[in-house]
């Protein structure tokens, strides 16, 4: 366990880049879902896929960085149950950062729609074309999106609780312009 009061600049940058991509991906996903088929909708689907693939790559980098640069120590005043809850929530958030893009990629493969990263790099299909599996994967992908939204909501609510109610400086570990916690 690291004894610094703040995450590294690389960890902070990856956190906020991934958060931005997740929020943009949700917004675009919900917006485009009910649009009629058109060139614009196909373009939005491509952008959505690019966001997912980029999130997957950045999540791999984030996990690799965390493996070599551990998270800073939490303030001692935080109850053990909150620490366990935070660890579990973070684990599931990371899991979803991998599973969400994979479910979308699998869905595209099953629906016979290639994933071409930034319109340049064709990614291989993960499974063969199968309408029934594609339809199931639509539901899986959407369900995972709602699950991820719930966990992100919990994560944000906990951060705001620590900042405004507990005033323990915990948000200062990840927000550069805030004061880091006293350990």
Show the domain range for 104: 9-173
Q: How many domains does the chain have?
A: 1
Whether 3 is covered by a domain: the verdict is: no
Whether 2 is covered by a domain: the verdict is: no
> Alpha-carbon distance 127 to 105, whole Å?
9
Whether 45 is covered by a domain: the verdict is: yes
Mean pLDDT of the chain: 94
Whether 179 is covered by a domain: the verdict is: no
pLDDT at residue 1 is higher than 80: no
CATH number, position 14: 1.20.950.20
- Structural element, H or E, at residue 62: helix 39-68
What is 96-147 written as a DSSP string? HHHHHHHHHHHHHHHTT--EEETTTEEEPPSS---HHHHHHHHHHHHHHHHH
pLDDT digits (tens, 9 = 90+) for 108-166: 999 999 999 999 999 999 999 999 999 999 999 999 999 999 999 999 999 999 999 99
Whether 42 is covered by a domain: the verdict is: yes
pLDDT at residue 49 is higher than 60: yes
SS3 label, residue 72: strand
Q: How long is the chain? A: 183
Whether 4 is covered by a domain: the verdict is: no
Whether 180 is covered by a domain: the verdict is: no
pLDDT digits (tens, 9 = 90+) for 83-103: 999 999 999 999 999 999 999
Whether 74 is covered by a domain: the verdict is: yes
């Amino acid at each position: 366990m690291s004894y610094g009061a703040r995450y590294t600049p690389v960890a902070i940058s990856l956190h906020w880049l991934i958060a931005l991509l997740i929020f943009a991906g949700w917004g675009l996903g919900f917006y485009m879902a009910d649009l009629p088929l058109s060139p614009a909708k196909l373009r939005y689907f491509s952008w959505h896929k690019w966001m997912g693939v980029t999130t997957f790559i950045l999540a791999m980098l984030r996990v690799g960085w965390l493996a070599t640069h551990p998270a800073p120590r939490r303030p001692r005043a935080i109850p053990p149950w909150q620490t366990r809850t935070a660890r579990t929530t973070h684990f599931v958030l990371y899991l979803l950062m991998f599973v969400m893009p994979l479910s979308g990629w699998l869905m595209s493969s099953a629906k016979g729609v290639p994933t071409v990263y930034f319109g340049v790099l064709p990614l291989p299909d993960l499974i063969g074309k199968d309408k029934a599996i594609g339809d199931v994967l639509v539901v899986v992908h959407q369900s995972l999106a709602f699950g991820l939204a719930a966990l992100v909501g919990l994560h944000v609510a906990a951060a705001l609780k620590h900042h405004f109610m507990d005033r323990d400086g915990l948000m200062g570990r990840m927000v550069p312009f805030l004061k880091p916690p006293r350990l």
